[in-house]
Amino acid sequence: MIRLDPGKRITQMICGMHEFMQGWMFSVDNPYYEMTKKDGLFKIDHLPPGRYRVIAWHPHLKPIEKEITVSADETVELDFAFDAATVKRPEYEQQEKFRIGPEALPHEHLTGDKEKLFIQE
């Protein structure tokens, strides 16, 4: 169980040895939430009629909030657009070159099978 301090909604969990191994959590205080699909689409069914504040969140961007009003048996479409140009990636994700790149061991000199991989001389 994760307990957040009052007023906190977001937490990040990071491996103590590998900072690229991480997870994020955004807590909600109601049963009406959804994670987007790979294409960014989402659907929240069975909302009772009323006014709602909808928050879209991404771990590297500021949340975006919009208000909607839902009537009985109504479908409401809502679009959110994040500006990826404002993302500041962690240093380890900005690596442009490998420490040992493919040029060190060109593929034409490598052969291998499931048991071993070796360099031909």
Dist. CA 88–CA 41, nearest whole Å: 24
Q: Which residue has the higher pLDDT, 111 or 60?
A: 60
Q: What is the pLDDT of residues 32-61, one digit of tens each?
A: 888 888 888 889 888 899 999 998 988 888
Query: pTM for this one?
Result: 0.57
Q: Is residue 76 scored above 70 in pLDDT? A: yes
Query: Dihedral, CA atoms, 108, 110, 113, 115, nearest 10 degrees?
Result: -170
Contact call for residues 50 and 32 (beta carbons, < 8 A): no
DSSP conformation class of 79: -
Q: Which of 62, 11, 5, 55 is nearest to 30 (CA)?
A: 55
